[in-house]
């Protein structure tokens, strides 16, 4: 199965997905590209951005996608 299909099925179960989850679960290094594929196919993918603290205390912005 393709990464795009795996990610779609993940979100169709009512779950969100982050880039780190996509990498760990599906080996997807470019989640944003897969999300673009889904949007171009007509899926209404929502994005929520939030901040996390990294190991050295630096803040990073992370996207979380859902249907």
* Each residue's pLDDT expressed in tens, for the chain with a length of 67 residues: 799 999 999 999 999 999 999 999 999 999 999 999 999 999 999 999 999 887 888 898 899 999 9
| Lookup result for tokens 């989640």 | 31
| β-bridge mates for residue 48, sequence order | 64
C-alpha distance from residue 20 to each of 13, 31, 40, 41, 45 (Å): 18, 9, 23, 23, 18
Q: What pLDDT, on the 0 to 100 scale, is given for residue 60?
A: 86
Q: What pLDDT, on the 0 to 100 scale, is given for residue 57?
A: 86
pTM of the shown model: 0.86
Run of H or E residues at 53: strand 46-53
């Amino acid at each position: 199965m393709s990464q795009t299909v795996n990610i779609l099925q993940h979100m169709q179960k009512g779950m969100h997905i982050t880039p780190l989850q996509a990498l760990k679960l599906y080996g997807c290094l470019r989640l944003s590209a897969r999300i673009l594929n889904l949007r171009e196919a007509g899926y209404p993918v929502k994005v929520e951005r939030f901040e996390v603290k990294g190991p050295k205390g630096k803040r990073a912005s992370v996207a979380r996608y859902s249907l």
